[in-house]
């Protein structure tokens, strides 16, 4: 079973980190559609976090359609592709501000592509804690 990653020092609310992590795991294909997620109890114990926090993350993920709950059996990953418009827009904005910096510094297009590839290959591709 795949567990999400949580960093209690990052300052990002833990339920948010659990949610982000599941979105990432699903996007990367590390969890398959209809695969079961750890129970609230398992996850809370494994990570040493508040079960109410896990509960809240699961409830919101269900509302967002990333997971579905089967009463008495647990939570599973949905197979419907989520709309990623919000994320695309967010990424575009970040790219734009990076491009802006690059232009100001006279960095060329090919170097920018290189930098992007470097970033993708960095080992710690986590939320906002860099």
Question: Contact residues for another protein (CB under 8 A)?
Answer: 8-16, 39-42, 44-53, 55-56, 69, 71-74, 93, 97, 100-101, 104, 128-129
Find out whether 36 and 75 touch, Cβ atoms under 8 Å: yes
CB closer to another protein, 29 vs 106: 106
Minimum distance from residue 6 beta carbon to another protein (Å): 9
With 0-12 / 13-18 / 19 or more C-beta atoms within 10 angstroms meaning exposed / middle / buried, residue 97 is exposed
CB closer to another protein, 46 vs 64: 46
Residues 6+ apart with CB under 8 A from 8: 14, 49
CB closer to another protein, 13 vs 29: 13
């Amino acid at each position: 079973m795949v567990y999400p990653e949580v960093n209690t020092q990052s300052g990002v609310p833990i339920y948010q980190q659990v949610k982000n992590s599941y979105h990432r795991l699903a996007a990367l294909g590390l969890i398959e559609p209809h695969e079961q997620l750890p129970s609230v109890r398992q996850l809370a114990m494994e990570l040493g976090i508040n079960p109410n926090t896990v509960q809240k993350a699961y409830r919101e993920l269900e509302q967002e359609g990333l997971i579905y709950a089967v009463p008495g059996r647990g939570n599973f990953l949905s197979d419907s592709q989520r709309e990623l418009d919000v994320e695309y827009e967010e990424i575009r904005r970040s790219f734009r501000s990076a491009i802006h910096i690059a232009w100001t510094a006279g960095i060329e297009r090919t170097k920018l592509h290189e930098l992007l590839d470097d970033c993708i290959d960095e080992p710690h591709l986590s939320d906002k804690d860099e």
